[in-house]
Amino acid sequence: MMPPAVSEWSNLILRWIHVLAGIFWIGQTYYFTKLEGRMALDEEEAKKSGRLPQVWLVHSGSFSLVEKQSSPKAVPAKFYWFRWEALVTWISGFLLLGLLYYSGGLLLDDSVSSIGMGAGVAIGLGTLFLGFTVYEGIWRSPLGRMPLLAGTICYFLVVALAYALTHLISGRAAYIHIGALFGTIMAANVWMGILPATRKMLVAIREGKPIDQKMSERAKNRTIHNTYMTVPLIFLMISNHFPTATYGADYNWLILSILVLAGAVSAKFIYKAS
């Protein structure tokens, strides 16, 4: 057993890192979502004027002009990549999961089921990694070309997962693990989807070859997925502070399902409003 003082300090430091990195990551996601939305509004005017779509920004007493280049003829040697925030958020979150649930006694609830700790940990880890595998399989299959259908299937799989988890592990752990699944998918989208596609696009530009627009579209779609998952993810992460209203309720799986849907719909409106 970890000494209480060490456990508490570890919890505090990991939460601080997790929240701070998450703020940077989510802030950047919505900044670029807003930027893309404003660029789209300028597309028509840019064509008429024979220029690139652009957005003027003002912040801290200075003005900046951002232009959208879908197929640049040349690129600089150095880029600022938005990637480490996602990785640090995921790693710190995973360490917190281990500290609080896999070794901290919050994973199981005898009133829910009588499974052992080994089985509980296997269920928790399986939720993250098998959940991501199923998500990836759906969106890489022909279903991925039908976003509404694929999204609906994913949602009902989340509902089924919520029901199963709340009948196997503690309600609090079930909520956190579905939130952690969303976070795992989002981080994997950055590192396994968006970044590799962008690197291939850069290689094509430097070699004077045309950019594969399918690759660009796939990266953009994964960014949209992350945008839609952000709002329900934040709800699930803070739900442990409100046990009566969320994981402690009789129909906790149904509450989770409704609020995940409400969060995704809210994120859609935020995305459209950008």
What are the residue ranges spanned by the domains of the chain?
4-273
Provide the total of helices (H) and of strands (E) in the chain, helices listed first.
8, 2
CA nearest neighbour of 234 among 266, 193, 188, 189: 266
Task: Note the pLDDT of residue 16.
Answer: 96
Tokens in use for 250? 């009789």
> Residue 145 gets which letter from DSSP?
G
Cα 147 from Cα 153, distance rounded (Å) = 10
CA nearest neighbour of 114 among 169, 47, 41: 169
Residue ranges of the chain with pLDDT lower than 50? none
Task: Note the pLDDT of residue 121.
Answer: 97
Which 3 state secondary structure label does DSSP give 141?
coil
Task: Note the pLDDT of residue 1.
Answer: 67
Give 184: exposed, middle or buried? Use CB within 10 Å, 0-12, 13-18, 19+. buried
Tokens in use for 30? 């919505």
Task: Note the pLDDT of residue 60.
Answer: 83
Cross-strand bridge partners of residue 203: none
Q: How many residues does the chain have?
A: 274
> Residue 118 gets which letter from DSSP?
H
CA nearest neighbour of 173 among 127, 230, 118: 127
Task: Note the pLDDT of residue 264.
Answer: 85
Cα 242 from Cα 236, distance rounded (Å) = 10
Task: Note the pLDDT of residue 271.
Answer: 65
Task: Note the pLDDT of residue 243.
Answer: 93
